[in-house]
Amino acid sequence: MSGRSSSRARGGAAPRAGAPAPGVRALSRAPLTARGLAAVLLGVGLLVAANTLGRIELVVFGLTLMLLTTAAFVTLRLAGRVTDVERTLSTDVASVGGISQVRAVLVLSTRPVPGGRWHDALPPALRAVVTEDEPNGPIGDLPPGGRGVLPVSYAVMGMKRGRHAIGPLETAAIDPFGLARRRASAGGRTPVTIVPAVVPLRALPGAPGATGGAQATTDRHGQGADNLIPRPYAPSDSMRRIHWRASAHHGSFMVREEERETTPRAIVVFDRGARRWSPDAARGDDEGFEAAVTLVVSATWSLVRDGYAVEVMDSDGAPISLVETQDDRRELLVTFASVGPRGEDTLDRLPTGIGNWASAPVILVTGRLTGEDVAGLAPVATQASRAVLLSVDPRGDALERAARQGWHAARLGTDIEAGWLAATRPHDDTPAFGSRAFAADAFDLRLDSGAGAGHGRP
């Protein structure tokens, strides 16, 4: 699935505040309509009355009603139908709070379709959205006499991260007399990945991007012109690289060699120990855990935007993702679409698992946090260039004790940006982006390698 996500439905039609599409309900499974059932019951009643009263005309009327209903039933079973469905999503992945277009091609049989309705089944994690162009959501009409293919589309909004599926498509047709109904399913289920929302966050104080500085990094020799250092000439070097001033100074040939620099690095730790989160977290129903997931991906995106290469890891040092490029950011979102708590509590291993990050900022995101937990984290705060701690459920004086150790600590609630600012800029009362979550395209990052993905700017 490829394309781009948008906070506005395609065609410029704005959705109505996430309103679900009307009429999205299961199509009736009954083979007869109320009128058809009434016709059968009336026909049976007429036959019984004819036998009692000895009136032949009642027999004729009764048989006519029953035969007509039977013919309507058989005709529908022999008529054309939807045989297959091919779906695509306008976005590489859907995102929580983001709107995507589902485009489907309904393949019709060679026999004419008698008309009717179609309804595409949506998982609870996706909500149909009303737009001016698509007011009915994942439900619509089948054209009477239709053949070939029928293209349809509707808008959906991601409600819950994870891996889900759309489908199958259900159809219902009624004969021209309104007596019989045919209900059928067509096509399979189309998998869709819903990734966490991304919130634009302010840069860490002292970050490369916080002062407007460019990323002064390179991974290869031969790039840049401001970091030249001379080295002795080797037979394989080109004469054009001879640095004449340095050669005169050293008394031998010297050549230009660009200095190899290192990318500033940061680390984001996500403590997923199950005992730190409610049992609902495993089902994706814990607001605190979902807020923590959103903060982790948002902080990572913001740090990469500001010039860092970011290592995302668990509290025991086990790597989750290394994020350096645009593709890495996309993979991070896909990875966190299904991240959940894990059984083992490893926060006490963080000082050992994190290694030596003396020159790097460390962001720690956790759930339940006590003063005893904080006591073991002092070495991390000591060696990090900046230590930021956000806890969904701090107990007692845990945050105060963390602050005394050197952590910039704050409680994390559902307002992601407010929690981030409280920890990183406690005296700054002016949010830069507004306190709301955006779809995964908030930083104008393309979720696929082709078309653009969004409208926001870092």
Structure token digits, residue 398: 């845990």
Distance, CA of 292 to CA of 235 (rounded, Å): 56
For residue 12, give both structure tokens: 């410029």
> Looking at the structure, do residues 142 and 178 belong to the same domain, yes or no?
yes
Can you give the pLDDT at residue 48? 92
pLDDT given for residue 26 in this prediction: 44
275 and 235 housed in the same domain: no
Q: Is residue 430 part of a domain?
A: no
Instruction: Mark whether 77 and 168 lie in a shared domain.
Output: yes
Domain final residue, candidates 236, 258, 280: 258
Let me know whether 41 and 179 are in one domain. yes
451 occurs within a structural domain? no
> CA-CA distance, 162 to 125, in Å (whole number)?
8
State whether 161 and 252 are in the same domain: no
Q: Could you tell me if residue 167 is inside a domain? A: yes
- Residue 137 sits in a domain whose CATH number is 2.60.40.10
Here the tokens at position 405 are: 């150790």
| Of 238, 258, 278, the domain-final residue | 258
Q: b or e along 408-445 (b: 16 or more beta carbons within 10 Å of the residue's beta carbon)?
A: bbbbbeebbbebbbbbbbeeeeebeeeeebbbbbbbeb
pLDDT of 214:
40
Statement to judge: residues 15 and 122 lie in one domain: yes
Domain count along the chain: 3
Within this chain, do residues 151 and 189 fall inside the same structural domain, yes or no?
yes
Q: Is residue 220 part of a domain?
A: no
Are 232 and 274 in the same domain? no
* 73: in domain: yes
**Parent domain of 409:** 265-424
H or E segment to which residue 254 belongs: strand 254-258
What is the CATH classification number for the domain harbouring 283? Answer: 3.40.50.410
**What pLDDT, on the 0 to 100 scale, is given for residue 158?**
94
Q: Which of 143, 170, 195 is the last residue of a domain?
A: 195
pLDDT of residue 212: 46
pLDDT at 217: 41
Residue 213 is assigned to a structural domain of this protein: no
Does any domain span residue 386?
yes
Whether residues 252 and 339 fall in one domain: no
Whether residues 287 and 235 share a domain: the answer is no
**Would residue 300 count as lying in a domain?**
yes
Tokens 């948002």 label which residue? 298
Q: Are residues 104 and 244 in the same domain?
A: no
Listed as ranges, residues in the chain with pLDDT below 70 are 1-28, 209-229, 236-238, 240, 257-262, 356-358, 428-458
Q: Is residue 232 located within the same domain as residue 289?
A: no
**Alpha carbon distance 140, 179 (integer Å):** 21
Per-residue pLDDT at 220: 38
